[in-house]
Structure 1
Amino acid sequence: MDDISLRLFKLSSAGFCCAQIMYKLALEDEGTCNDDLVRSAQGLCRGIADTQKTCGVLSGGIGVLGLYAAKAKNDESAHEDFAPMVQAFHEWFKTEFGSTQCATLIGVRDFHSGDQSFKPICAGIIQKAYVKVYEILLEHGYDYGNRA
């Protein structure tokens, strides 16, 4: 099992969901943690608010791009490459997986039933998307794992 797969397995086994895992991986790679950020991402999972609409992996990936290039303070603006990076990730996601909708990607699920059979599908999506976010950041000159 490669490093990302092992990390995904551990985070999923600990009860983190897709968007949270995207953030946790990024924060771990820079040697930091941000419990508030990870906590806030839980509502993005299972298709935003358990609606099975926009995939939480997509939302989480866009959020990781935002950690590097989005606006955070009154006296700053988003980096000019933020929107193109988001667009590139979004287009890649649609092409790679055929949809951005959770229900289409994993099938309609009752998340409260205890059925966890969707997790391997999500893990594959997370792994590919995480690598793509990393590649996009590198292509745009960001030092992945170092936002200082």
Structure 2
Amino acid sequence: MPRPVHVCAVALVAALTASIAAAESERTFSQVNVLPRYRQECATCHLAYPPGMLPAASWQRILDNLQHHFGTDASLDADSVRQISTWLAANSAADAAAHAAPPEDRITRSHWFRQEHAEVPAAVWKRPMIKSASNCAACHTRAEQGNFNEHFIRIPQ
């Protein structure tokens, strides 16, 4: 018969392992079944950000204002906007409490983003190979696959 101390230790290890796995999975966003039109239209200028990085309301506001898309005219035809909007809404951040709409609907201003990058000094964002916090792929080597796990980070000098 197992001793109570051993049972508690095994339970504690299992709980910690599950907690670590959950934390690691938070850094991975599904990029499976990415809408081809979304990738075609959005990834020509920047990373096709995983829809789970923002709530549906933020994505909708972004699509409603493409003529002033963060300082650029990114206007699309109505059919493209409709398809992308539907897809983003279906795949956006589901947990409204954890992914509240950030100021100006900027991923880099969201609570979770700021928390994840709190240890990154401001000077790092200004390095020539990075340029800004929105350039995920500069440091996250698997960003294109939606994997932002810290094991795959390489910060350019």
Which has the larger Rg?
Answer: 2
- TM-score of the two chains, using structure 1 as the length reference: 0.31
Structure having the larger proportion of residues in helix: 1
- TM-score of the two chains, using structure 2 as the length reference: 0.29
